[in-house]
Amino acid sequence: MRRLTIFSSIVVIAVGATALAGWLTSSRILTAIIPGLIPMAANTALSFTLLGAALCVLGGGHSWSRAVVRLCVLFTLTMIVPRMVEYVSGADFRVDSWVIDPPREEIGGAPVGRMAFFTAVCFLLSSIALFTLTLRARRRTVEALAGVASLALMSIGIVFFVGYLLDAPLFAIGPTIPMALNTSFSFILLGVGLISAILDQRLLAPLPADLDAKMLRVDRMIIAGFGISFSSVLVVSIFSYENSVRFVENSGLISHAYRMLSESEAVISTMKDIETGARGFVLSGIPAFLEPYEAARERIGEQMRALKQLEENHPRQRDRIERLEPFIERKFQSSKKLIDVYSRGGPSAAQKLVASGEGETAMDSIRALVRRLQDDERLFLEMRLMEHESGLSRSITFFALLTVLILGLFLALYIFIERGLTARQRSEKALQEAAREIEDLYHNAPCGYHSLDASGTILSINNTELAWLGYNREEVVGMLKISDFFTEKGIEQFKRTFPKFLAEGYINDLEFEVKRKDGSTFRALLSATAMTDEHGNFVRSRTTMFDITDKHRALEELHHQTELYETLLKTQSNLGEGVVMTEADRIIYVNDAFCRITGYPEAEVKALGSLFELIPGPLQGAAREQVMRLLRGEAVDTVQEAQIVHKSGRLIDLEIALDIVHTGGPPRLIGIVRDITERKIVERERRTLNTNLQKKGEELELANKELEAFSYSVSHDLRAPLRHINGFMELLQNHVGRSIDEKGKRYLTIVTTAAKQMGDLIDDLLVFSRMSRADLMQTRVDLTSLAHNVIQRLEPDTQARTIEWKVGVLPEVLGDPSMLRMVFVNLLSNAIKYTRPRQRAVIELDARTEANGDSVLWVKDNGVGFDMNYAHKLFGVFQRLHSSDEFEGTGIGLATVQRIMLRHGGRVWAEGKLQEGATVYCLFPHPEEDIS
Would you tell me which residues interact with another protein (CB under 8 A)?
Answer: 711-712, 715-717, 719-720, 722-724, 726-731, 755-756, 759, 763, 766, 770, 774
Residue 171: strand, helix, or coil: coil
CB of 774 to another protein, least distance (A): 8
Report the distance separating Cα 313 and Cα 310, nearest Å.
8
How many C-alpha atoms does 646 have within 13 Å on its Cβ side? 12
Specify the residue, 457 or 826, whose C-beta has the smaller distance to another protein: 826
What is the pairing mode between strands 779-782 and 651-661? unpaired
Nearest residue (CB) to another protein, 232 versus 752 = 752
Among residues 691 and 753, whose Cβ is nearest to another protein?
Answer: 753
Q: Based on CB atoms, which residue is closest to another protein, 166 or 722?
A: 722
Q: Measured from the CB of residue 687, what is the shortest distance to another protein in angstroms?
A: 36
Residue 8 to residue 199: CA distance in whole angstroms: 15
If the CB atoms of residues 727 and 744 are measured against another protein, the closer one turns out to be 727
Strand boundaries in 569-648, DSSP class E: 577-583, 586-590, 639-645
Going by DSSP bridges, is the β-strand pair 577-583/668-675 parallel, antiparallel, or unpaired? antiparallel
Burial class (CB in 10 A: 0-12, 13-18, 19+), 858: buried
d(CA 853, CA 906): 13
Residues near 268 by beta carbon (within 8 Å), at least 6 away in sequence: 366, 367, 370
Q: How far is the CB of 707 from another protein (least distance, A)?
A: 13
Q: Do the beta carbons of residue 74 and residue 49 sit within 8 Å?
A: no
* Residue number with CB closer to another protein (432 or 818): 818
- Number of helices (H), then strands (E), in the chain: 24, 19
Structural contact between residues 229 and 406, judged by C-beta atoms closer than 8 angstroms: yes
Our CB check for another protein shows the closer of 759 and 925 to be 759
The nearest distance, CB 746 to another protein, in angstroms, is 18
Q: Please state the closest distance from residue 770 (CB atom) to another protein, in A.
A: 7
Burial (CB count <10 Å: 0-12, 13-18, 19+), residue 632: exposed
When the beta carbons of 554 and 776 are compared against another protein, the nearer one is 776
CA dihedral 893, 897, 903, 908 (to 10 degrees): -140
For the bound state, the minimum distance from the C-beta of residue 778 to another protein, rounded and expressed in Å, comes to: 18
d(CA 535, CA 532): 8
Sign of CA dihedral 195, 196, 201, 206: positive
Which C-beta is closer to another protein: that of 438 or that of 720?
Answer: 720
The SS3 call for residue 259 is helix
Burial per residue of 556-587, b for 16 or more beta-carbon CB atoms within 10 angstroms, e otherwise: eeeeeeeeeeeeebeebbeeebbbbbbeeeeb
Q: Given the complex with another protein, which of 613 and 760 has the nearer CB atom? A: 760
Q: Please say which residue, 439 or 888, places its beta carbon nearer to another protein.
A: 888
CB of 711 to another protein, least distance (A): 8
CA gyration radius, the chain? 77
Residue 818 beta carbon to another protein: minimum distance, rounded to whole angstroms: 10
Nearer to another protein, 625 or 888 (CB): 888
If the CB atoms of residues 1 and 725 are measured against another protein, the closer one turns out to be 725
State the Cα–Cα distance between residues 671 and 419, nearest whole angstrom. Answer: 82
Kindly state the smallest distance separating residue 716's Cβ from another protein, in Å: 5
Q: Which one, 198 or 755, has the nearer CB to another protein?
A: 755
Pair 783, 820: CB distance under 8 Å: yes
Smallest distance from the beta carbon of 727 to another protein, in angstroms? 4
CB-CB contact of 274 with 329 (8 Å):
no
Contacts 24+ apart (CB under 8 A), 746-755: 751/725, 752/725, 752/726, 755/722, 755/725, 755/726, 755/729
- Minimum CB separation from another protein for residue 737, in Å? 16
Is residue 196 a contact partner of residue 1, using CB atoms and an 8 Å limit? yes
The distance of closest approach from Cβ of residue 712 to another protein in the complex, given in angstroms and rounded to an integer, is 6
Closest CA to 913 of 845, 864, 846, 874: 864
| Least distance in angstroms from the C-beta of 676 to another protein | 48
Would you mind telling me the total number of residues written for the chain in this entry?
Answer: 932
Minimum distance between the CB of residue 728 and another protein, rounded to whole angstroms?
7
Least separation in angstroms between residue 857's CB and another protein is 27
Nearer to another protein by C-beta: 263 or 764?
A: 764
The CB-of-838 to another protein minimum distance in angstroms stands at 30
Sign of the Cα torsion 88, 93, 97, 98 reads negative
Q: Is 776 helix (H, G, I), strand (E, B) or coil?
A: coil
Q: List all residues 6 or more positions away from 904 whose beta carbon is below 8 Å from its beta carbon.
A: 776, 813, 815, 816, 819, 820, 924, 925
By CB atoms closer than 10 A (0-12, 13-18, 19+), residue 427 is middle
Distances (CA, A) of 421 to 207, 215, 218, 426: 11, 9, 9, 8
Nearer to another protein, 717 or 795 (CB): 717
- Tell me the β-bridge partners of 874: none
User: Given the complex with another protein, which of 474 and 775 has the nearer CB atom?
Assistant: 775
Q: How far is CA 507 from CA 446, 542, 544, 565, 783, in A?
A: 20, 10, 10, 36, 91
Quote the least distance from Cβ 911 to another protein, whole Å.
35
Give the nearer residue to another protein in terms of CB position, either 272 or 770. Answer: 770
